[in-house]
Structures are given as C-alpha cells and as structure tokens.
A and B are shown apart, each in its own frame.
Chain A
Amino acid sequence: MYTQAMDTMGKDDGDKLRALRSTDEMVLQQRFDARIDAGEFIEAKDWMPEHYRKTLVRQISQHAHSEIVGMLPEGNWISRAPTLKRKAILLAKVQDEGGHGLYLYAAAETLGTSRDQMVEALHAGKAKYSSIFNYPTLTWADVGAIGWLVDGAAIMNQVPICRCSYAPYARAMIRICREESFHQRQGFESLLTMMTKGTEAQKAMVQDAVNRWWWPSVMMFGPPDDQSPNSAQSMRWGIKRVSNDELRQKFIDAAVEQAKVLGVTLPDPELKWNEQRQAHDHGPIDWAEFWRVIGGDGPCNRERLAARVEAAREGAWVREAALAHARKQRQTEQAA
C-alpha cells in the first residue's frame, strides 16, 4: 500500500537480537505487551520498544511521502481539466493530499524524528513511497481511474489503520479517511459521466486508463502474505490489522461489481467468481514489475523524485526568508 516498501525489507529481528537488556527494560516491555494485548492505545510519551518506534517512523514517513509524491500525477492535469467543475474538484483533492502528508509527518514527528529529517531521507533516495505514483497520467481518464482504483485501494488499506495501536497515527488516519471519502466517489463519477454521456473515443479512453491502472492498483497492497517478512511483527503490535492478501481480495471483489456498473472490463482474463470461496479468483500478479518499480526503475521514479527535490530547492529561500522575518519581528517587539 502507501507503505508497501515496509514489506520489501529483509526480516527485522529488532529487539529480540539485542543481547544486553536491563531488568527494568524487560518489565517495561512486559507492561507494553500487556497494553497492546488489551487493545490499549500507545501515546507519544509512553514507553515503547525501540523497534516499535523505528517501525512506526518508517511506516508513517513512507505514508506521508506517498501523499506528497501522490500530488504529482494528478497535479499534472489541474491546468488541463475539461471543465471548471472538474478543475475545482481536482484542486480540492490534491490540496487534501498535501494536508494528509502534513498530518502524517506530524504524527511521525511525535516519535522524535523531525519533518526535515524525513524529507531529507526521501530526497536522498533513502526513504520509499508507494510504487503506484511511479506510473504516468497520460490522459484525463487517468485522473478518474486514480480516484476510483488507487484511492479505492488506499481507503481499503487505511480504514483498518484508524485502529492502529499508536494513537497519533490512528488519529491522523481517522481525519484522513473522513476527508478522503469523496476522492473515490469523484473519480468513479467522472468515469461514469464519460461512459454514459461520452463519445466512443472517450469511452475507449476510459477503458485504456482502467487497463493501465488495474494491475498497479492490485499491487498496491504489497507482496503476498508469505513474502511479507515483517507483517507478523506489525500484526503483533497492532500497527497492521489486516493482511495484504485479505485486503487485496476485498478490493478485487468490490471493484468487479463497480466495473459492471461503469461498463468497463478489467484486464484479467482469469478473473472469475469462485462459489466455494465466495470470492473472485484472479490471474497471476507480475511481481517482477512490482519489485522493479519499488527498486527505483518504474516509468516515472526519477521524474517524481527530481520534482520533489527541485520543489524543495526552489522553495528554500522562501522558508529561510520567513524564518528571518519572524526573528526580526521578535527583535523589534522586544526592543519596543
């Protein structure tokens, strides 16, 4: 998902491997585990294992980076939206994503890493963001397809994180989910308008967008459960609530019905209802492509990162000037 790169790292043995541990720390650890088992929330100032803290900083910052980088593919169409109404909607959506990035950076900052440090890690190529934003938005229908499929997948993943054991993250997610509810609907409605009132060429454009976004959206949930080395620990800690495959299945089952309403086909010839499982079977996922895109070699990886680095560089003087102005104002006030 937005934090799928969490699954791409080698297995973390974390705290378990540390040989020396004080008795104090073991008591704290037991108390922490008991609180997690009881379904309690952990707040910023509560004691927590170092590995829990590290995992959260990594996950929440990846999530934040995804929101910010995610503004780029759609931002590409703001100046070319077909009507004023669609332009206002798209602006509102991209602005929401900027806000979501901010909520998430703030949640991660409660763990003791500053936003600037996290942004630097992104710009240095040390931090990841979701693979989905490394695909290009070639036509206007891509904006609708992102709303329907990408935001649809994101919502499915994010709703369970509203119950994450780390309270500042959970609170940010509640706010995000509330705001994001219109994102998927507007995308679907935009595609539906083209499919019901559009020309043949516009309908073909929608189908083409769906064809291109389907598999990357399915991959958003991350590698299969048996190849997701850190999932068990995240589940144990209540950071992750539902497994990759379970969420993916839920997404596919919902999308199949929505595609029928829309009048488009999904580009998977093996997609069919399995009466026994009461779920849809699907064809093999091209994991080689997933690993390639995560590894930095997708269609737009370099372009996306370069855009972020450039934006930070170009805005640096504004940030510095604002700080200098505030300092000067304070001095003037003190002198008066």
Chain B
Amino acid sequence: MSESNQTNEAADATEWPLWEVFVRSKAGLDHKHCGSLHATDAKMAIQMARDVYTRRQEGSSVWVVRSDQIVASDPGDNEMYFDPAEDKVYRHLTFYELPKAVDHM
C-alpha cells in the first residue's frame, strides 16, 4: 500500500518505521503483498501483521520487510522496460497452430 513513503521516517526519528506485509494465504501458494504498518522492530512488525492482517484466517505465514529496503522499478521507465515484450507473440503457446490430433501439446 505504501510504496513511496520511505523518506518520511528517516527525517524524524520519533516516528515508528514503516513495514510492508506479505501474507501466504495457505500452504502451497505465494506470499502476496497485503498492506503496511508501523512498528519499531521486526518482532513487533510480525506480531502486528498477525493482529491486523490475519484476523479472519487469511494467512498461514507472514513476511514483513522494512519499506525503505524495497527497491522498485521507476514508473517513468515503464515503456522502455515493459513494452518490448508486447510484439513477441511467439513467446505464447497460442502463436503455434497445430493439427487437432496433437493440439493438446
């Protein structure tokens, strides 16, 4: 939820640092970003993530990471980064037409 607030906490040491929370909804699935919270250390962040984000059995595992430790791509680079994949249709299975008898391939 809070991708851009890394700058807030460094400036003022009286504010609790921000953490990003990732929850695995059940064994076998990926951890998924679900929100953020303030906590003074990792232990408190895990405890609060459990209290805030898994009150209705939403999770079986929780990750927390300091928001200022996340490195993100720059949205200004989006065209350069992501658009080149657009014209590479041959990377998808639907590009290849096969006879019906083997089409499950």
Using CB atoms and an 8 Å cutoff, list the residues of chain A in contact with chain B. 43-47, 92, 95-96, 99, 102-103, 106-107, 109-116, 168, 171-172, 175, 179, 319-320, 322-323, 325-326, 329-330
CB within 8 Å for A326 and B35 given contacts A43-B75, A44-B3: no
If over half of A's interface residues share one DSSP class (helix, strand or loop), that class is named, otherwise mixed; here it is helix
Which of A99, A115, A329 contacts B41, CB < 8 Å? A329
What is the CB-to-nearest-CB distance from B75 to chain A, in angstroms, rounded to a whole number?
5
Q: List 15 A-B contacts (CB under 8 A).
A: A44-B4, A45-B3, A99-B55, A110-B4, A110-B5, A114-B12, A116-B14, A168-B1, A168-B2, A171-B1, A319-B16, A323-B14, A323-B40, A329-B41, A330-B41
- CB of A63, distance to nearest CB on chain B (Å): 14
Closest to B44 in A: A322
Contacting pair A110 B72 (CB below 8 A): no
- Is residue B74 within 8 Å, beta carbon to beta carbon, of the partner chain? yes
Q: Number of contacts between A and B (CB, 8 Å)?
A: 82
Closest CB pairs A-B (n = 3): A326-B40, A114-B8, A326-B41
The answer to whether B37 touches A106, judged by C-beta atoms less than 8 angstroms apart, is yes
A170 to chain B, nearest CB (A): 10
B37 and A114 within 8 A (CB): no
What residues of chain A lie closer than 8 Å to B37, measured between beta carbons?
Answer: 102, 106
A114 touches B35 (CB 8 A): no
Question: B38 an interface residue at 8 Å Cβ cutoff?
Answer: yes
Indicate the size class of the contact surface on chain B. Answer: 20 to 34
B40/A107 in contact, CB under 8 A? no
Q: Which residues of A contact B40 (CB under 8 A)?
A: 322-323, 325-326
Cβ contact within 8 Å between A109 and B5: yes
Residue of A nearest to B37 (CB): A102
B5 touching A114, Cβ below 8 Å: yes
Among B13, B44, B56, B75, contact of A46 (Cβ-Cβ < 8 Å) = B75
**Residue of B with least CB distance to A322:** B40
Tell me whether B1 and A107 are in contact (CB under 8 A). Answer: yes
Residue of B whose beta carbon sits closest to that of A116: B15
Chain A residues with CB under 8 A of B35: 103, 106, 171-172, 175
Instruction: Quote the shortest CB–CB distance from A123 to chain B (angstroms).
Output: 15
What are the residues of chain A within 8 A of B1 when measuring CB–CB?
A: 103, 106-107, 110, 168, 171-172
Q: A44 CA to B16 CA in the complex, in Å? A: 21
Chain A residues closer than 8 Å to B14, beta-carbon distance: 116, 320, 323
